[in-house]
Amino acid sequence: MKFRFSFALIALLSLVLLVGAGCAKKSTSSMPPGATKVKVEDKSDYSEDTVGEESQVDESTLAAEARKEAQARAVEEMQFRIHFAFDSYELNDEARMVLGRKAELMKEFPELTMVIEGHCDERGTEEYNLALGERRARAAFEHLVILGIEPERMSVVSFGEERPLDSGHNETAWAQNRRDEFKISY
């Protein structure tokens, strides 16, 4: 009987060990019945350098686009004219303020260049108005140089009375025609 008892005890322990070992290997899943398991890609193929380069390219592209948009807005803003009193090429306070803003934008965008056009109203001789238009353009040019803009980035031209902004023959029209215009290029 002792032999049978020992044999039964060994068989029972073996059975418990086999069942216990078998249960430990069994995997449990939280997936509902009938669901399909999806294979997850191994992301070890992507290095951190590649991801960093992609984000740098995107960031630099975005920065370049933003700078282009800012430059376009600056070019548009720099189109503002300045006006002069009758028979004068002296810059008034408003003209100095406008030129100050143009200088800021020219410094911010060093690739921009500018042509300053001097204009006059129809009163006076053609030769006189060409000379006065040149003095007006030169006054703006010199003020921008004083504000730190390189002279090589600017040029002056006079149109005298050739290109009126307002074709009227009264003080309102003449006041509009006594001006400097700024043509920006890049």
Strand partners, 119: 160, 179
pLDDT in tens, 134-161: 999 999 999 999 999 999 999 999 999 8
Write down the pTM of the prediction: 0.64
Q: What does pLDDT average to over the chain?
A: 80
Distance CA 87, CA 84 (A): 8
What is the topology classification, in CATH, of domain 86-168+175-186?
60s Ribosomal Protein L30; Chain: A; (3.30.1330)
CA atoms within 13 A on the CB side of 127: 0
Q: How many other CB atoms sit within 10 Å of the CB of residue 13? A: 10
Contact status, residue 83 vs residue 181, Cβ threshold 8 Å: no
pLDDT in tens, 15-27: 656 566 555 555 5
What angle is formed at CA 154 by the lines to CA 151 and CA 158, rounded to 5 degrees?
A: 120
% of the chain at pLDDT higher than 90 = 47
Q: Where are the domains of the chain?
A: 86-168+175-186
Mean pLDDT on 23-37: 55
Pull the structure tokens for residue 39. 């294979």
What's the chain look like in SS3?
CHHHHHHHHHHHHHHHHHHHHHHHHCCCCCCCCCCCCCCCCCHHHCCHHHHHHHHHHHHHHHHHHHHHHHHHHHHHHCCCCEECCCCCCCCCHHHHHHHHHHHHHHHHCCCCEEEEEEECCCCCCHHHHHHHHHHHHHHHHHHHHHCCCCHHHEEEEEEECCCCCCCCCCHHHHHHHCEEEEEEEC
Contact status, residue 157 vs residue 137, Cβ threshold 8 Å: yes
